[in-house]
Amino acid sequence: MRSTKLGISALQFAIHWENKSENLKTIARFLESMPVDTDLVVLPEMFSTGFSMQPENHAEKMDGFSVNWLKNMAARYGVYICGSLIISESESFYNRFILVDPNGAFSQYDKRHLFSMAGEEKKYAPGNQRLIWEVKGWKILPQVCYDLRFPVWSRNDLNYDLAIYPANWPERRDYPWKTLLRARAIENQCYVVGVNRVGDDGNGVAHNGCSAIIDPLGADLHAAEPNMEQWIYANLESATLEKIRKSFPFLSDRDDFRLL
């Protein structure tokens, strides 16, 4: 049964380029002052390294240090935590979005749409499953960064309540980032969380964040200040979601199709 509310805290921060220890220290420091009533913490894409195209130098196994660190933090604070990192498995590398719960259980999603303009598809294997996670009865669609540009992959068949997009989205393309997050919320009648990094990466690419938590009508519940390390927080309400879907049930008129 879905809980009446779900407290979401998303961390917009400056990722230290390919420096896992510094990034985990930064996140740990922020966790000490996370918003009250947090149920789910959301971290950016490749939160431990930045958007690195050197997976051979930074990949970990699923029983590696960073995943175990996530489990320890989730247990310590009694929250769910999710974010993407570089994982090595079956002789391939994945940009893997991982959700851990306070008891150590985890779910995973491998990024489907790899960013060809940075050569991501030459270094990483694509995911091939569209998955739904569950947190306190809330159905969650995990996506990663470039997935945001492909609306068919996020099409809501009334099987999820919230879509989450961790990202390393450059400042020079922040208008599409901000616009598409709100479009995904409106067209799918769902809550959306988009959490992006700030600061320059190792390639000199600037990121200004513009993270946001958005309601099913496309309105901002909390939008981050650009270029600032900060938490954004919102309490998602199941009653609001149901009211919006009941008062304007356009998803019942959606086209019927299946992905090949």
> Active-site residue 89, yes or no?
no
> Active-site residue 111, yes or no?
yes
> Active-site residue 145, yes or no?
yes
Question: CA 102 → CA 37, 73, 142, 170, 193, distances in Å?
Answer: 15, 8, 19, 32, 21
Over range 185-203, report the average pLDDT. 98
In the prediction, which pLDDT does 259 show? 76
Query: Is pLDDT of 14 > 70?
Result: yes
In the prediction, which pLDDT does 128 show? 94
Over range 199-216, report the average pLDDT. 98
Amino acid at 164: I
In the prediction, which pLDDT does 257 show? 80
Strand ordering across the sheet containing 138-142:
133-135, 138-142, 162-167, 191-196, 212-214, 220-223
Catalytic choice (20, 71, 111, 123) = 111
In the prediction, which pLDDT does 258 show? 80
Would you state the torsion angle of the CA atoms of residues 176, 242, 256, 187, taken in this order, to the nearest 10 degrees? -20
Q: What is the mean pLDDT of the chain?
A: 97
3-state secondary structure of 46: coil
Reference 167, options 32, 54, 15, 7; nearest CA is: 15
| pLDDT tens, position by position, 39-91 | 999 999 999 999 999 999 999 999 999 999 999 999 999 999 999 999 999 99
φ/ψ region of 136 (left if φ > 0, alpha if ψ in -120 to 50, else beta) reads left
Over range 182-211, report the average pLDDT. 98
Q: What are the chain's domains?
A: 5-253 (3.60.110.10)
Catalytic choice (18, 45, 120, 171) = 45
Q: Return the DSSP state at 125.
A: P
> What is the rounded CA–CA span in Å between residue 101 and residue 67?
12
Reference 10, options 241, 149, 243, 181; nearest CA is: 181
Query: Is pLDDT of 19 > 90?
Result: yes
Catalytic choice (82, 145, 190, 210) = 145
| pLDDT tens, position by position, 223-242 | 999 999 999 999 999 999 99
Query: Is pLDDT of 1 > 90?
Result: no
| pLDDT tens, position by position, 143-153 | 999 999 999 99
Query: Is pLDDT of 173 > 90?
Result: yes
In the prediction, which pLDDT does 260 show? 67
Over range 121-146, report the average pLDDT. 98
Q: Enumerate residues 6+ apart whose C-beta is below 8 A from 118.
A: 51, 53
